[in-house]
Chains A and B, each alone.
Chain A
């Protein structure tokens, strides 16, 4: 398995406006954070997906200058963009096409896609993606675990289509072993108490569907005086942190084209307490996967306590240790 970094990790630094694209890529190289790079089109590239020739030249130049292999370009499947009316199938197909072309022009072999579009959309896009020679890697982000009905449908469609331009990008936030303490502690600014956190953790570990968890949490916390915004925050813990067993990935490994190495923070030994990376690497390695895994630091969603470059560096140190012992 090969290591990469997704520029998503630096959202807090990027939004400050203090960094150029070259700055973030140069720092990623300086700290030796992998051989591959992942870029989010709508984050890093002005005008995406209709990018200028200057942008194409700049991105290619930076990848070459800092010796990064272009791994994945991230698309967004914005089916709710009109707010009051969701995109239909054909409209969604047309929305994705320019993003496929952007990946082709920038030299990225994979376009990260999302489950907001059903299997039918990707099936219709196969001839277009084949012509562009861009793989549509559909991200499996919680709650889209391998047993989710939409994912089962998608897998069946992959089997039927027999094409190299369809694959999955499992996100490791789907198979967590705990809710990150850093995330739970960040809710304290909204007045969430230690007792509410303890109850949330307990419910999270139960083998019941997520909507049932929402109900149980509200039922327990409302009599304790929890407000709707506090309960809203704690619900985030259920929707951001999936509990799929790591071993379940085995079922789809032949279709995996890339991995998202989501992470929240580290303990004093440099381990990620909420995501079992040694087990994850073992499952994918033994399953024959030899592609990339990208660092994806989730910090910008809940804390500004740490420098994102430091955090990604810690994750790469952890991954390098794991790879040595595989």
Chain B
């Protein structure tokens, strides 16, 4: 959406884990927001990952995708990275095309007739080597 998108996925964002892989992401807003204001879509090599497979990690805590809207007390500091963990095998050292859509529902900017939080949506597509 803007210049801050540049920091969403760094070169070391994709990492193999024991059970699959994790993607480390940084917010594209200028200030910290809690997980309740976030939403994600992930495609690896063009294949969309089912959201029920997501585990979202922040500050050492772990949540399911379903829990997201309720997590208004779990803040992601603007300079910290959150993690999206997926149980799907990935090969270390191999390059993958990652398409990550990162939606932020801005809680202090209300728009439209229903006065709903402004949707700031960014999509990053990057070829990343699995670490």
Q: What is the interface of chain A, defined by CB distance below 8 A to chain B? A: 8, 11-12, 14-17, 40, 42-43, 46-48, 76-84, 86, 114, 116, 239, 299-304
Given contacts A43-B78, A302-B3, contact A15 B30 (CB under 8 A): yes
Binary A-proximity of B20-38 (CB < 8 A = 1, otherwise 0):
0000001000111110110
Bound Cα distance A78, B33 (Å): 9
- Whether A15 pairs with B2 at a CB distance below 8 angstroms is no
- Whether A40 pairs with B31 at a CB distance below 8 angstroms is yes
Given contacts A15-B30, A48-B32, A76-B108, contact A42 B78 (CB under 8 A): yes
- Residues of B in contact (CB 8 Å), total 30
List, in ascending order, chain B residues with CB within 8 A of A79's CB.
107-108, 110
Cβ of B76 to closest chain A Cβ, rounded Å = 11
Which chain A residue has the least Cβ–Cβ distance from B36?
A83
B49 within 8 A of partner (CB)? no
Given contacts A15-B26, A301-B2, contact A82 B70 (CB under 8 A): yes
Q: A83-B69, A303-B3 are in contact. List 14 more A-B contacts (CB 8 A).
A: A14-B78, A14-B79, A15-B7, A15-B30, A43-B30, A47-B75, A48-B32, A76-B108, A78-B107, A80-B37, A83-B117, A300-B4, A301-B3, A302-B3
Classify the interface of chain A: helix, strand, loop or mixed: loop
| CB<8 Å pairs between A and B, sample of 5 | A14-B79, A47-B75, A82-B69, A83-B105, A300-B30
Bound Cα distance A29, B57 (Å): 38
- Whether A300 pairs with B3 at a CB distance below 8 angstroms is yes
Bound Cα distance A11, B37 (Å): 19
Bound Cα distance A138, B68 (Å): 31
Bound Cα distance A16, B4 (Å): 9
Given contacts A86-B115, A302-B2, A302-B3, contact A15 B108 (CB under 8 A): no
B6 within 8 A of partner (CB)? yes
**Which one, B3, B31, B110, contacts A12 given CB within 8 A?**
B3
- Whether A304 pairs with B6 at a CB distance below 8 angstroms is yes
Bound Cα distance A262, B109 (Å): 17
- Whether B107 pairs with A15 at a CB distance below 8 angstroms is no
- Whether B108 pairs with A78 at a CB distance below 8 angstroms is yes
B12 within 8 A of partner (CB)? no
- The residues in B between 76 and 97 inclusive whose CB is less than 8 angstroms from any CB of A are 77-79
- Whether A43 pairs with B3 at a CB distance below 8 angstroms is no
**Which one, A17, A42, A77, A84, contacts B31 given CB within 8 A?**
A42
- Whether B108 pairs with A80 at a CB distance below 8 angstroms is yes
Cβ of B11 to closest chain A Cβ, rounded Å = 13
